[in-house]
Amino acid sequence: MSLRIIFMGTPEFSVPTLRALKEAGHEIVAVYSQPPRPGGRRGLDLQKSPVHQATELLGIPVHTPVNFKDDADRAQFRSLNADVAVVVAYGLLLPEAILSGTRLGCYNGHASLLPRWRGAAPIQRAIMAGDRKTGMMIMKMEKGLDTGPVALTREVEIGENATAGELHDQLMLIGARAMVEAMECLEAGDLPLTPQPEEGVLYAAKIDKSETRIDFSRPAIEVHNRIRGLSPFPGAWFEAEINGRAERIKVLLSAVSEGGGEAGTVLDDNLTVACGSGAVRLTRLQKAGGKPLAAADFLRGTPLPAGTRLG
């Protein structure tokens, strides 16, 4: 036996779940993904999403509606006669017509321990807030934003130096296994649902560009958490004067360190930088248009000696 599944997802994070459901023997009757977006070096080429590309390799039909306001798109969804829709980072708040458009409803794989970090950027927000654990949750979707009852939870410890990229890769694999398990239970009629607590709700808003500039006046642990929470994308950054010109430099890795001084001042030859309290050592950096480099290699080409002000 297997379920007839509509899969809905867009980024790389969604792809392992799509493949895992297919490998588990379920029938993926169609895949929905966000429409191709401008890309390429000049932004002139339309690029299909990672899920779209993976789906074409699997030989499964792909649909890319902008939204589901058109009655024809809603009718097409219902006409697939699916048992269930599986949603992983699709990127669109689904209307009631879609949530009720399959026999068993829609189930979402979400990368947080709900109700903490509902919304668009749960992985980044958890690290930026200094959380020590997170996880993947499989929930049945309702009209609200990540408000539905939870079917399955997998907790994960967040290391003190873990980056958003590392946690992303870990959770996408855990989420794939969890969704396969949840669908097995659903098929067997044994998938209990637990309402989310009313307390502890936090929203993981999409990362804004204004949040990516490093504020060295903050305590060192906050600076470190912001750097790793934004690594590798979009990346936390500072500006420094190099050869008489202000240049933007992205920081991909850091470590909390000892030391003190005026916030934003380089304290030694190892790129230890004073913060509002304490200091951080910048260990991996990248100039605009350049490759990511370990601090020692970066400094050979771009000296930032003690006393340099970063901001």
Binding site, residues? Answer: 112-115
DSSP label of 116: T
CA atoms of 173 and 136, how far apart (whole Å): 10
Contact yes or no for 95/8 (Cβ under 8 A): no
Contact yes or no for 136/174 (Cβ under 8 A): yes
User: How far is C-alpha 220 from the geometric centre of its chain's CA atoms?
Assistant: 24
User: How far is C-alpha 112 from the geometric centre of its chain's CA atoms?
Assistant: 10
Can you tell me which residue has the tokens 């490093």?
Answer: 214
Contact yes or no for 250/307 (Cβ under 8 A): no
Q: Which secondary-structure segment (H or E) carries 23?
A: helix 15-23
Smallest CA-to-CA distance from 252 within 167, 163, 129 is with: 163
* 41 half-sphere exposure, CB direction, 13 A CA radius: 1
Task: Return the bridge partners of 235, or none.
Answer: none
User: How far is C-alpha 296 from the geometric centre of its chain's CA atoms?
Assistant: 30
Binding-site residue ranges for (6S)-5,6,7,8-tetrahydrofolate = 112-115
CA atoms of 228 and 82, how far apart (whole Å): 40
Smallest CA-to-CA distance from 191 within 236, 150, 154, 156 is with: 150
Other C-beta atoms closer than 10 Å to the C-beta of 182 total: 21
CA atoms of 253 and 225, how far apart (whole Å): 10
